[in-house]
Every structure is written in structure tokens, then in C-alpha cells.
Amino acid sequence: MKRLLRLGALRIHWVTEWQKRGVPHLHGVAYFDIAPGDGSHYVRVHSGILKSWREIAAAYSPSPLGQHLSVITDERGRGTRMV
């Protein structure tokens, strides 16, 4: 959470589901104030989230294929898959 706040998150919500093998499965949403077309800010936030998650989850050896990061574009949580 602190890493997301340092990146400029305004609100954060997450749920952790513990799998049978003892590793966490995380669902989360972080809200940022990024204006449409502000590509440099978006890239900084996007890469910062990925870097932070990889560092935090490294002890669990997460597969890069199992990670999903997307921009939410509507109230139902739909968006464009980014990673």
C-alpha cells in the first residue's frame, strides 16, 4: 500500500485469497489521477506498480504469465489488459 501511495494512488482496495499451497492470490484496485493523454505519468505509474509487485512477491516466485494489470475504464471494472 505504501508503494502505491508513493506513486500517487488516491484510493486502494484489495482482497487477498490464500491458495491451498499457501501462496497469496491478490485482487486489487488503485485509483490514480491521470489525465487522458498524460502518457509519461501513466508509464511511470504502470511501471512502478509492476516493479513494486515483483519485488514484494519475489519470495513466492510468481510466474510472469500469472500477473494481470489493466486500466479500468468503466464502473463494472472492465478495461484494457496491459500485462
Q: Is the pTM of this model over 0.95?
A: no
- Which tops the pLDDT comparison, 75 or 43? 43
pLDDT digits (tens, 9 = 90+) for 9-68: 999 999 999 989 888 788 888 988 887 677 788 888 988 998 898 898 898 887 878 788
For residue 67, the SS3 value is coil
Whole-Å CA distances, 29 to 4, 20, 22, 37, 77 = 10, 24, 23, 21, 9
pLDDT of 7 reads 92
